[in-house]
Every structure is written in C-alpha cells, then in structure tokens.
Amino acid sequence: MKLITRFILIYLIVTAIVLAVGGVISYFIIKNEIDAELDRQFIERIDRATYLIDRDRRFNPEWDDVDGDQNMVIDKLDDRVKPSTTFTDTLVWNERLERMELNRKVAAYRRIDGRSYYISTYGQMIESDDITEAVAKTLLWILGLQVLGAIGIGFFVSGHLFKPFRKTLRRIRGFQLQEKEPIPAEKTNVEEFDDLNQFVEEMTRKAVSDYRNLKEFAENASHELQTPLAIAKGKLELLTETELTPEQYRYVDSLQRTVKNLSKLSGSLALLTKIENHEFSNGESINLTKLIRDGIEAFQEFINLNELTVQADLQDDVMVCIHPVLADILWTNLFQNSIRHNIENGQIRVKLTQERLHISNTGKELDKEPAEMFGRFKKSDQSGDSIGLGLSIVHRITKQAGFDLSYSVEGEWHTIEIRFYKPGAD
C-alpha cells in the first residue's frame, strides 16, 4: 500500500470517528436547545394564563371560568399547594397522523388571589428520529466533502509534493556499486526530502568506498597469494626430484596437494567476490546445448579415467540468458562435482530442455541436508580434496541469472535441477 493511500485511509477513519462522536454531541445539543426553547414558550403561556386569571378575578371576584384552550389545561384546586413547575415529555394523540406523537409538557402549580391552580400546556416537539436524520444527513454531507477533499489532496500530494521522493527512489533503484559513483544529493523545497537525499548521498558514497576498498583488497590478496604459492609449488617439485625416503615423499606429496588447494581456494574466493559484486552483469543469450556437449567432450578423458558412464539427453538449441563466462563456470562446476563425488563404475545423467537442466550422478550418502551443500565450505567428505566452494559458486551464479536451483537425493542418486523460468514455462 502506498504511503499516500495509507495516509488518506487513516485521515478518513479519524474523520469518521470524529464525525460520529460529533454527531452524538450535536444530537443532544440540538435536542436540548429545542427543549429549552419550547419550555421558554410554554412558561410564557403559563405566565400569560396566570396573569389573565388574576386580572379577571380582580375585576370580578365571582369569576370562575377557568377553561383553557385546546393545548392548555387549567384546574382550580381545593387544597393549597406550593407553587412549582415541572418539564416532561409526553405522548399525545395526533388526529391528522392517527398515532401517538411525542410532545413537550410543562405543568405548573400557582397561587392566584389566595386560590391554588394547576396549569399545564403542551405542544408537539421535533421527534428524536427527525433530529437524528437531520444530523446524519448533515454529517454524511460533511463526510462526503471530506472524502473528496482527501482524495484531491492525496492526488496533489502524490503528484506534486512527493515527486522529489519518488525521484530519489528511482535513483536508489538504479544505483549500481560497480559503477563506483555515489548518488549526488539534489535540493528540493522540502526540508525532510533534503535530509533524505543528503543521507542517500552519504550512504552510497560510503558503500562505493567500502566496495572499492574490498575489491582492491580481494584482488591484491588473490594476486599476492599466487606468487608465494607458485614459489612453494616450484620448490616442492624440485624437492621431489631429489632422493627422498618414502616417508619424506608422502610429506612432500601432502604439501603439494595443500598448495594446490590453496591456489584453487584463492581463485574460487576471488570469483565469488566478483559474482557477488555483479561484475558479470551483462547477460546475453547463449546456446547451452552446445556448451554442455563441448564440456562433456572436454572431460571425456577424465570420465574414462574414473570409469564413469555418461548419458546425455540434450534438446537442440536451448538458449538461456546468462553471461558466457558464468555459464561456462556453472557447467564446469556442476560436471566436475558429479565426477569428483561419484562412486566406482558410477553413472552421470544429464537432461536439458527449454525449461530446465537436470544433472544426476551416483554417489555416497550425504551426512547433512542437501540444501546445506550450497553454503560456503560445505562438503559431504571433509577429508576429500574438494574445497567446498563449487556448489556455492553455482548457487550465486543461478541467483544472479534469475534461475531456480534445487538439490535432491533419492537412494544413491544425487540430482541438481536448474529451472530457467522462461516465458510460458510451467
């Protein structure tokens, strides 16, 4: 949900709550005002009736006509009562509507010329449902205007005020570390956006600096390691040409394998760093069928040496979008892995379609979950010659290319599947 949409929803929810509370308050205020106005009018009528009774009795002491009008009742009381006034609501039959209607009633006890009188009057008041309807209509109109105003303001804010913010987001999305250029801050007319742009510039500048330093360190470390490794390898080769005891020869052979693994480790780590830094970002469409066929042919001597059987079912001209160097590294690591971790007289099966690549090989039982094998330095045989980076490199390459990678084991068969996610694929 966009920020402006969330803001509008919160604004409208708060507005609805405020209007609901305001509607209840308005209802009671309006009703109290109407009741107060009716009470004032009825008191004036009672006072008028009291005045007329007093006047007529002064001019005619024998006067005894105390009939009220249609909405007034005047009764002469035999007992003396204390003067008082009460205000109540009452139901009165309405001849026109033929139903009971709510009326406001004021009853008063008065003493006039030594006599006590009961005087009451009533009149139809505005019904509570009428007040409720009027208040509801008013609030709905206000709410409707608020909705239109909020939508209008939302479009204005989203289209104009948030324009610098959206521009900054686009620049962040387009930021590439390998370009080695930070995102320069741009001035806007909003202080918060200026602070954001300044922070983005500082953050990207630091990221570029850290990336450059890390890249230089990795390249320098890889380069500098090769010289002493090459020297050690040469010295060990010279040493093997001298007369050595069987025990000494085993030590030298072990050191040679260690130096070889160190050289492979240095190259693999440097390759992983380049992949993670997206230095192979420009993909192109390559013929994966041809690459695999040429790769199998290139490994034929190695396959025969290990007495393995390879079955290849390759669909013609399978094209995938990936950097050529990464495609070659991907296939080489997968095929080497299937050969290195096979068993005696084992098998390898390769199947390639337009949607996916399957490579299966016989092998030993894993001592961990298959998914863990994609981590760095993870291998099933810790004492083997493998450095444990082959599948990690495969995982990074497939992730960068946008492919899906999975590893499964069924019996003695180990299967790695790469799904290319081509348009129209199931």
Q: What digits encode the pLDDT tens for the residues 366-378?
A: 766 666 666 544 4
322 vs 191: CA distance, rounded Å: 44
272 vs 326: CA distance, rounded Å: 11
| Contact between residue 394 and residue 330 where contact means Cβ atoms under 8 Å apart | yes
State CA 40 to chain mean position distance.
61
pLDDT tens digits for range 42-86: 888 888 888 887 777 666 655 555 555 567 888 888 888 888 888
pLDDT tens digits for range 213-241: 776 766 666 666 666 767 777 777 777 77
| DSSP, residue by residue, 129-159 | HHHHHHHHHHHHHHHHHHHHHHHHHHHHIII
Mean pLDDT of 397-426: 78
pLDDT at 140 over 80: yes
**3 state SS for 184-223:** CCCCCCCHHHHHHHHHHHHHHHHHHHHHHHHHHHHHHHHH
Q: pLDDT: is 272 or 117 the higher one?
A: 117
Structure tokens at 403: 């492919």
Residues 6+ apart with CB under 8 A from 68: 49, 74, 119, 121
20 vs 239: CA distance, rounded Å: 94
Helices 390-401 and 246-276: crossing angle in degrees, nearest 10, is 10
> To the nearest whole percent, how much of the chain has pLDDT over 90?
2
Cβ-in-10-Å burial (0-12, 13-18, 19+) of 67 comes to exposed
Question: Coil, helix or strand for 363?
Answer: coil
Query: What's residue 371's pLDDT?
Result: 63
Query: What's residue 71's pLDDT?
Result: 76
pLDDT at 125 over 70: no
| Contact between residue 8 and residue 150 where contact means Cβ atoms under 8 Å apart | yes
pLDDT tens digits for range 191-218: 888 888 888 888 888 888 877 777 676 6
Mean pLDDT of 18-42: 83
Query: What's residue 277's pLDDT?
Result: 60
Question: What rounded mean pLDDT belongs to the chain?
Answer: 77
Query: What's residue 220's pLDDT?
Result: 64
